[in-house]
Structure 1
């Protein structure tokens, strides 16, 4: 079977991590897999090495004019990928996001990772078409599949993400010690500073936590995005200054350094307001790190007895404080047992079964 997986970026975002891991697992079964993506900012490859069994097609996507709006960038992204991609050689075309689904005019399988609500007209239209036009749908959690059914009458197959368990569970002590030497004790979050990630709530929570645990830092990693969150970031920075706190903002972390950064954390915060699965949080569980997540139905579904849940900044501060003070061995064991069950090889087999059911 010839399979094309389409993504909008080469940067380390959750959907891109998913795409590469799925592609490698599908190729490991002997399938012919090609990943197509836009190469933004001069990228000619992905943020990490990819198994050579997977073919890569990176479509150049140079930076636009200085005053290019988000909407204009979305339309240019769709047009650029559409002009480069020929679906005819493939048995399955599988789009992982709204840009790539629009680039093939909906003639694809689509994984809906989560439901967004955009105000930019071009992005809202892109999102809607990428839901209603594909001929088959996948979701990474039942909660998102239920949203698709309730909002659009669409039935989606649910195939959860895998996780690179060994990569996060077996980090080198020297690498963990290097992060601890640099940062001391810290609460980590991965995903950058943006509205969907609940970044403003997190600094409110950290200010409360810091009053009781002044030796614990807040560390934020990640942050590559197609969207423009400069106003939100400016508000976040202003609020942090008002609260008298100084979070450590690492930005994107090299892929080979990320597992040790996660494993060295004293707790992992995941206060997202909207998620489809929570891959970064599952990686934290694989590393044996105490996890505190937003109390959302989807995160209850995915993390169940393996995480602490918080609905408000006050709750988040309280639960992080408990995680720092009491490393619960029951939660730690439950987290690792949950993470180890989520394998990419199983996800790949289920994807293949789904692809074959469509023929």
Structure 2
């Protein structure tokens, strides 16, 4: 089976991480897999090494100074669509709104539903839900949103998790201990959020929560990692900076972290904060559970579905602060539940479910 998986970027965003891990698992199963992506900003490769069994087709995409987000998305669709030829594949599977619009007839994974106000982007979002001939969601909650909004019934195939990669970073091996020690020597004890500073990640709520924690835990630092995104969050970042200054907080903003360094960064944190206001699954938090770290998540139905009682929940800055402080106390039963959950979700199982789905939904010629 010749499969094309399409994603919009080579940067370390959740959908891209999903695409690469799924592609490698499909290749291990014997499928012929090609990943297509736009190579933005001069990128010549993905943010991490990819199994050579997966073919890569990266489409050059120049940055254009002064281009609006709408203009950039429309150009992304045009450039990817012009480069891609579906005739070479038995399955064409788009992983996001841009690639779904670029190629038209496809299977689409809807990781989460976005909200746009610009008419052109609203139309793109609508087409990316309606036009695909078959749909997959990574959680029942998102599938329910699609059913409620459009009367469509996607299949549900959960994400996998590279459990061993993050569990190894939390192990007692000399290399793992040394890597964690380097982070602690640089950052001290810290609360970690992965995903950058943006509205969907609840970054300002976390800032407000951290301000409430200082009296009880002055030794803690607040660390943000990640942040590669297509969208323009300058206004949100400016508000974040204003609140930071008003609260007198100096969070550590690491920006994108090398893929090889991410597991030890996660494994070395005191608590992993996941105050997202919208998610499709929560892969970063699942990786933290694999590393044995306590996770405090936003009180959302989708996160309750995915994580159950393996994490604690909060719904505002005050409760988030209390939960983050409480989570520093060891809870062996919760740690064991989290480890078991993350171990149970494998990319090989996700690949088998996708192959079954592909067999039932062949590409309409």
**TM-score bin, normalised by smaller chain:** over 0.9
Partner of residue 116, structure 1: 114
- Report the Cα distance in structure 2 between the residues aligned to 1:124 and 1:293, rounded to whole angstroms: 29
Report the Cα distance in structure 1 between the residues aligned to 2:69 and 2:243, rounded to whole angstroms: 25
In structure 2, the partner of 1:256 is 260
Paired with 1:151 and 1:222, the residues of 2 have a C-alpha distance of 31
TM-superposed CA distance for 1:100, in Å, is: 0.1
Matched pairs, number: 356
Cα distance between partner residues in 1 of 2:119 and 2:314:
33
C-alpha contact 1:36 1:59 (8 A) present in aligned 2: yes
Which of 126, 129, 141 is the equivalent residue of 1:128?
Answer: 126
Aligned-residue Cα RMSD (Å) equals 0.6
The answer for the alignment partner of 1:101 in structure 2 is 100
Q: Is the 8 A contact 1:70 1:120 kept in 2?
A: no
Residue 349 of structure 1: which of 341, 352, 362 is its match? Answer: 352
Counterparts of 2:200 and 2:118, CA distance in 1:
15
Give, in whole Å, the separation in 2 of the partners of 1:54 and 1:225. 24
- Does residue 51 of structure 2 align to residue 51 of structure 1? yes
Is 2:144 aligned against 1:146? yes
Partner of 2:212: 208
Q: CA deviation at 1:125?
A: 1.6
Counterpart-to-counterpart distance in 2, 1:124 and 1:252: 29
For residues 266 and 118 of structure 2, the distance between their equivalents in structure 1, rounded to whole angstroms, comes to 34
Name the residue aligned to 1:321: 325
Match of 2:335 in 1: 332
Three-state SS of the structure 1 residue aligned to 2:71 is helix
Contact 1:71-1:121 at 8 Å conserved across structures: no
Q: Distance in 1 between matches of 2:196 and 2:136?
A: 26
Tell me which residue corresponds to 2:70. Answer: 71
1:261-300 correspondence runs (5 A):
261-300=265-304
Query: Distance in 2 between the 1:256 and 1:211 partners?
Result: 35
**Deviation for aligned residue 1:122:** 2.4
2-structure distance, mates of 1:300, 1:99: 29
Cα distance in 1 for residues equivalent to 2:243 and 2:207: 8
CA contact (8 A) 1:163 1:342 kept: yes
Segment of structure 1 superposing worse, 289-298 or 112-121: 112-121
Match of 2:172 in 1: none
Normalised by the length of structure 1, the TM-score is 0.98
Task: For residues 163-202 of structure 1, give each alpha carbon's deviation from its aligned partner in whole angstroms, at most 9, with x where no partner exists.
Answer: 1101000011111111011101000000000000011111
Find the counterpart in structure 2 of residue 91 from structure 1.
Answer: 90
Whether contact under 8 Å (1:27, 1:33) holds in the other structure is yes
**Residue in 2 that maps onto 1:36:** 36
Q: Deviations over 1:73-98 (max 9, x none)?
A: 00000000011000001000000000
- Aligned residue in 1 for 2:79: 80
- Structure 1 partner of 2:229: 225
CA distance in 2, matches of 1:115, 1:79: 22
Separation (CA, whole Å) in 2 of partners of 1:133 and 1:206:
43
Structure 1 residues 189-204: aligned runs within 5 Å: 189-204=193-208
User: With structure 2 as the length reference, what TM-score do the two structures score?
Assistant: 0.97
Task: Trace 1:12-27 onto structure 2 (pairs within 5 A).
Answer: 12-27=12-27
Structure 1's unaligned 5+ residue stretches are: none
The answer as to whether partners of 1:15 and 1:113 remain within 8 angstroms in 2 is yes
SS class of match (1:256) = coil
**1:74–1:122: 8 Å Cα contact kept in structure 2?**
no
Q: Deviations over 1:196-249 (max 9, x none)?
A: 001111100010012211100000000000000011101101101100111000
1:120 CA drift (Å): 2.7
Distance 1:43 1:154 in 2: 36
Instruction: Provide the rounded CA distance (Å) in 1 between the counterparts of 2:216 and 2:118.
Output: 41
The unaligned stretches of length 5 or more in structure 2 are 170-175
CA deviations on 1:297-346 (whole Å, 9 max, x unpaired) are: 0000000010000011101000001012x121111000000000010000
